[in-house]
């Protein structure tokens, strides 16, 4: 089974944190088998010369923003995709609200 190329689905931006949701469709002999989703996470900032740069490194103060952006991507994927929500009773929603993010 080979992987079909990923296609852009949606981007979630919280401050400098960008989370992009990608859709990939593994193909079998009869066509697409299922729709899987993947995310990429990057932090966008302006360097001292004024150019916009992206990095995989996230500052500690941006961790709550990353958690919130990932939560938005997860909620979107479970609502509109075939991603299953966890069945574990302890896997409740994250305690991160937009107004609490600095």
| Per-residue confidence (pLDDT) for residue 92, from 0 to 100 | 43
Give the pLDDT score at 31. 66
**CA angle (23, 27, 33) in 5-degree steps:** 80
Residue 50 inside a domain? The answer is yes
Residue 89 within a domain: no
Which DSSP helix (H) or strand (E) runs through 63? helix 63-80
Q: Which domain holds residue 44?
A: 2-84+94-100
Residue 49 in any domain: the answer is yes
In order along the chain (102 residues), what is the average pLDDT of each group of 10 residues? Answer: 69 94 76 75 92 91 95 89 52 45 49
Determine the pLDDT at residue 62: 94
């Amino acid at each position: 089974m080979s992987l079909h190329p990923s296609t852009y689905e949606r981007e979630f931006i919280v401050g400098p944190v960008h989370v992009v949701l990608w859709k990939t469709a593994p193909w079998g002999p009869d066509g697409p088998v299922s729709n899987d989703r993947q995310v990429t996470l990057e932090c966008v900032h302006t360097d001292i010369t004024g150019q916009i740069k992206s990095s995989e490194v996230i500052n500690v103060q941006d961790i709550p923003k990353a958690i919130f952006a990932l939560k938005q991507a997860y909620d979107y994927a479970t609502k509109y995709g075939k991603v299953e929500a966890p069945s574990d009773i302890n896997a409740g929603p994250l305690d991160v609200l937009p107004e609490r993010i600095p």
